């Protein structure tokens, strides 16, 4: 029935396998996945509410943090509800166009997150290296332009993917060996010449990771130079302490990317579920951990959160 419901170029639906080889453990695997998603939604929504209602937090650093929280909410919500439906209800079917939409949002918002982390590095650079110009440089207008540029870059780079995938005939069946519609997992089902898709996917990933990470590293080189020039050790500690949360967010986002990339090259014969777990870790870990990092390490956020819950207790 599935194979008969095919158009001239693509199947009407795909079937998501979940985690191949571990189907019998899907219910148990869903527990940490559901817990992580719940923490991500609660944490990021709390951040957005606190930043929205407290006028004192309408500063560049917190506006960028609000962007990051919004992106994390969309990024996790793009994949996790469907993944949990697979684990709990064995609801593996996904419409072909819904699959393309999921892929577009997944990869677009990953690129946006990288751009916002870069913008936050610029924010820390201005705050530490040019503190007297902080409010004049990072105006609301510039922050808005940075947000629009981050969105425009992601949409521009990812818009070709759905159109490229529509042109293929999927003769290798409708079964995607993954939890969600990841670009290369879909390309593997296509017949014909897929070299351009392979090259384009790798080129975009390398362009984003290398370029953004390079500018982040440069920002921190300048920040480190400025911090080391401060007279007292206390001033150095205080200045660098304002960067700890951002460094944690950077590590949470880029470390899984680097590990997954290395594993794909040095452990090609590893079981498929190893790579899929790494891919899921990349999607789940940053949205879950970012609110915790900023909630614990940022005094203003921590105080507002405590005040919010203490008020509820009273």
C-alpha distances in Å from residue 94, one per residue of 73, 75, 152: 21, 18, 27
Query: Average pLDDT over the chain, rounded to whole?
Result: 88
CB atoms within 10 A of CB 205: 17
| Two structure tokens written together for 179 | 């939890």
**pLDDT exceeds cutoff 60 at 7:** no
CA distance 17 to 178: 6
Q: In this predicted model, what pLDDT tens digit does every residue of 299-312 receive, in sequence order?
A: 778 888 777 767 65
Please compute the mean of the pLDDT values over residues 239-252 and round it to a whole number: 88
Please compute the mean of the pLDDT values over residues 266-278 and round it to a whole number: 76
**pLDDT exceeds cutoff 50 at 34:** yes
| Two structure tokens written together for 7 | 């158009």
**pLDDT exceeds cutoff 60 at 314:** no
Which alpha helices (H) appear in 229-298, and where do they start and end? Answer: 233-241, 244-266, 272-297
CB 47 within 8 A of CB 301: yes
CA distance 288 to 266: 28
Task: Identify the burial level of 93 via C-beta atoms within 10 angstroms of its C-beta, where 0-12 means exposed, 13-18 middle and 19 or more buried.
Answer: middle
CB 156 within 8 A of CB 163: no
Higher pLDDT among residues 14 and 301, named by residue: 14
Phi, psi of 229 (to 5 degrees): -85, -10
Please compute the mean of the pLDDT values over residues 186-203 and round it to a whole number: 88
Return the pLDDT at 154.
Answer: 96
CA distance 144 to 109: 17
Domain 13-305: top CATH class: mainly alpha
Please compute the mean of the pLDDT values over residues 269-273 and round it to a whole number: 76
What percentage of the chain carries pLDDT values higher than 70? 92
Phi, psi of 108 (to 5 degrees): -65, -45
CA distance 72 to 68: 6
Task: Identify the burial level of 114 via C-beta atoms within 10 angstroms of its C-beta, where 0-12 means exposed, 13-18 middle and 19 or more buried.
Answer: buried
Q: How many residues does the chain have?
A: 314
| Two structure tokens written together for 170 | 């999927």
Using pLDDT thresholds of 50, 70 and 90, give the confidence band for residue 234: confident
Please compute the mean of the pLDDT values over residues 111-122 and round it to a whole number: 95
Domain limits, the chain: 13-305
**pLDDT exceeds cutoff 70 at 64:** yes
């Amino acid at each position: 029935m599935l194979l008969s419901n095919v158009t001239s170029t693509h199947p009407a639906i795909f079937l998501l396998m979940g985690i191949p080889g571990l189907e019998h453990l899907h219910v148990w695997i869903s527990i940490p996945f559901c817990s992580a998603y719940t923490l991500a939604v609660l944490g990021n929504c709390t951040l957005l509410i606190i930043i929205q209602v407290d006028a004192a937090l309408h500063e560049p650093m917190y506006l960028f943090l609000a962007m990051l929280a919004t992106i994390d909410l969309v990024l996790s919500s793009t994949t996790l509800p469907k993944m949990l439906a697979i684990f709990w209800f064995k609801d593996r079917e996904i419409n072909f166009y819904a699959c393309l939409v999921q892929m577009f949002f997944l990869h677009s918002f990953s690129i946006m997150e990288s751009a916002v982390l870069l913008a936050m590095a610029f924010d820390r650079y201005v705050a530490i290296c040019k503190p007297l110009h902080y409010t004049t440089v990072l105006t609301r207008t510039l922050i808005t332009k940075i947000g629009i540029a981050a969105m425009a870059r992601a949409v521009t780079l990812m818009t070709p993917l759905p159109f490229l995938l529509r042109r293929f005939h999927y003769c290798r069946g409708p079964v995607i060996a993954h939890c969600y519609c990841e670009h290369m997992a879909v390309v593997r089902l296509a017949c014909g010449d897929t070299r351009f898709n392979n090259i384009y996917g790798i080129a975009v990933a390398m362009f984003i990771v290398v370029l953004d990470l390079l500018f982040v590293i440069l920002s921190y080189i300048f920040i480190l130079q400025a911090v080391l020039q401060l007279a007292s050790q206390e001033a150095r500690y205080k200045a660098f302490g304002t960067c700890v949360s951002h460094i944690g967010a950077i590590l949470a986002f880029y470390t899984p990317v680097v590990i997954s990339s290395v594993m794909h090259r040095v452990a090609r014969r590893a079981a498929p579920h190893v790579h899929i777990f790494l891919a899921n870790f990349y999607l789940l870990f940053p949205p879950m951990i970012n609110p915790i990092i900023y909630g614990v390490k940022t005094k203003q956020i921590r105080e507002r959160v405590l005040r919010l819950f203490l008020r509820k207790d009273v």
